[in-house]
């Protein structure tokens, strides 16, 4: 399959809207937890929804942690969405006793002000370290946000009582706190660029 797109099946996360977005752009995808599918993917997506601890537990149970790390090291294009961003980090206040994947140095912190979780549309402000996103409104559902040690990997920030990192980009890896698959035209434009339908 040309441009093989694999959505990682880790036993959680609603992939229906994500699948609909991909198919609306005339691409096909497979939902899989098989090592061979993940390692042969051209584009790999970790969809986000659920609890940090449960996600890590499910990944360990499926034996996928090393597989995901290997795919990223192999320069497979990787997209993490919401929880798929957070699990890349070393630790999270949501699950203090659970180690994250540690692919990105830093931690996941809980909002201390405002209505928690943040639910709804919010604007992102892109940085110079950005290839795929526009300064536009995207749809968020999050109680936590990431705090990377290396601020140079931040590709956008958003204000919700505080200015927080809403996406990161590093080499073949991009991960976003918002849900581009639920973000109407802004999300469509992002996926067109990331999937290679239009030039970033």
Domains of the chain (ranges, CATH numbers): 5-194 (3.40.50.880)
In this prediction the pTM is: 0.96
Q: How confident is the model at residue 30 (pLDDT cuts 50, 70, 90)?
A: very high
For residue 55, count other CB atoms closer than 10 A to its CB: 27
Greatest CA span in the chain, whole angstroms? 47
Q: How far apart are CA 173 and CA 75, in angstroms?
A: 8
Q: How far apart are CA 4 and CA 42, in angstroms?
A: 5
pLDDT score at 42? 96
Q: Which of 186, 81, 59 is nearest to 126 (CA)?
A: 186
* pLDDT of residue 85 exceeding 50: yes
pLDDT score at 68? 97
* pLDDT of residue 2 exceeding 80: no
Q: Which of 188, 90, 109, 105 is nearest to 151 (CA)?
A: 105
Q: How far apart are CA 55 and CA 109, in angstroms?
A: 17
Can you read off the two tokens belonging to residue 95? 């699950």
Across the range 85-105, mean pLDDT stands at 97
pLDDT in tens, 128-185: 999 999 999 999 999 999 999 999 999 999 999 999 999 999 999 999 999 999 999 9
Q: How confident is the model at residue 39 (pLDDT cuts 50, 70, 90)?
A: very high
pLDDT score at 1? 44
* pLDDT of residue 73 exceeding 50: yes
Which carries the bigger pLDDT value, residue 10 or residue 179?
Answer: 179
Strands (E), the chain: 5-8, 30-32, 43-46, 77-81, 89-92, 104-110, 118-126, 137-142, 144-148, 154-160, 162-170, 173-176
Q: How far apart are CA 147 and CA 168, in angstroms?
A: 10
Bridge partners, 122 (sequence order): 138
* pLDDT of residue 114 exceeding 90: yes
pLDDT score at 13? 65
Q: How far apart are CA 39 and CA 42, in angstroms?
A: 9
- Phi and psi (nearest 5°) for 188? -60, -45
Which residues are designated catalytic?
A: 82, 179, 181
Which carries the bigger pLDDT value, residue 127 or residue 200?
Answer: 127
* pLDDT of residue 12 exceeding 80: no
pLDDT score at 198? 85
């Amino acid at each position: 399959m040309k441009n093989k797109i694999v959505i990682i099946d880790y036993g959680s996360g609603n992939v229906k809207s994500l699948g609909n977005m991909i198919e609306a752009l005339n691409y096909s995808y497979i939902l899989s937890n098989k090592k061979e599918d993940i390692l042969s993917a051209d584009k790999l997506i970790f969809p986000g929804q659920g609890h940090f601890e449960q996600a890590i537990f499910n990944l360990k149970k499926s034996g996928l942690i090393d597989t995901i790390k290997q795919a990223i090291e192999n320069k497979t294009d990787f997209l993490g969405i919401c929880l798929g961003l957070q699990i890349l980090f070393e630790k999270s206040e949501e699950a203090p006793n659970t180690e994250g994947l540690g692919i990105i140095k830093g931690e996941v912190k809980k909002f201390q002000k405002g209505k928690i979780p943040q639910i709804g549309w919010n604007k992102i402000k892109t940085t110079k370290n950005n290839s795929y996103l526009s300064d536009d409104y995207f749809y968020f559902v999050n109680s936590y946000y990431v705090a990377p040690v290396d601020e140079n990997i931040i590709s956008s920030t958003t204000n919700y009582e505080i200015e927080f990192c809403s996406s990161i980009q590093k080499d073949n890896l991009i991960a976003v706190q918002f849900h581009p698959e639920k973000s109407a035209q802004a999300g469509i434009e992002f996926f067109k660029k990331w999937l290679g339908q239009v030039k970033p």
